[in-house]
Amino acid sequence: MQNKIGAGPCDTGANTHLPVTATYGRNRKGKQMSTMTMQQAAALIAQLQTQNAALQSKVDQMTNRKVTVRPNVIGGFDKEGNPNKGTVSVLGLNGKWPVTLYPNQWEKLFEAIPAIKATLEANREKLSWQKND
């Protein structure tokens, strides 16, 4: 499979009215797979750039989330239809996945906060810190 570019100036704005085509390989039976004019290629590039910008903004939103707390009350259901088990979730700490603990686990964590803070301060230079926080 060999890529071919048709005759005509491809990278300049001059003579864009010429019927310039690009062929992107052949299928298993040897038939041409795709042919497009420069105008079609430019339109496709513009469309892909728009899609890329939209996806990038979604990634930016996910990495710059605010921390939110959500109780998962027994008897209810989450967005995926799974039954809630009486836990509490914190969103925005770990990418798109929540940190979910039972109330007694949160209480143990709260009791350990002084030790956690002391460990962070004692090892500040040895630890990795995320730049977006």
pLDDT digits (tens, 9 = 90+) for 17-48: 444 555 556 666 666 666 778 888 888 899 99
Strand partners, 44: none
Provide the domain limits for residue 87: 65-126
68 or 10: which leads in pLDDT: 68
The residue type at 84? N
Q: Backbone dihedral region of 15: left (phi > 0), alpha (psi from -120 to 50 degrees) or beta? A: left
Q: Which of 28, 24, 31, 29 is nearest to 6 (CA)?
A: 24
Residues 42 and 78 in one domain: no
Q: How many domains does the chain have?
A: 2
Residues 39 and 57 in one domain: yes
Residues 50 and 70 in one domain: no
pLDDT at 129 over 70: yes
Q: Which of 70, 20, 64, 65 is nearest to 42 (CA)?
A: 20
Question: In whole angstroms, what separates CA 59 from the centre of its chain?
Answer: 4
pLDDT band at 109 (very low <50, low <70, confident <90, very high): very high
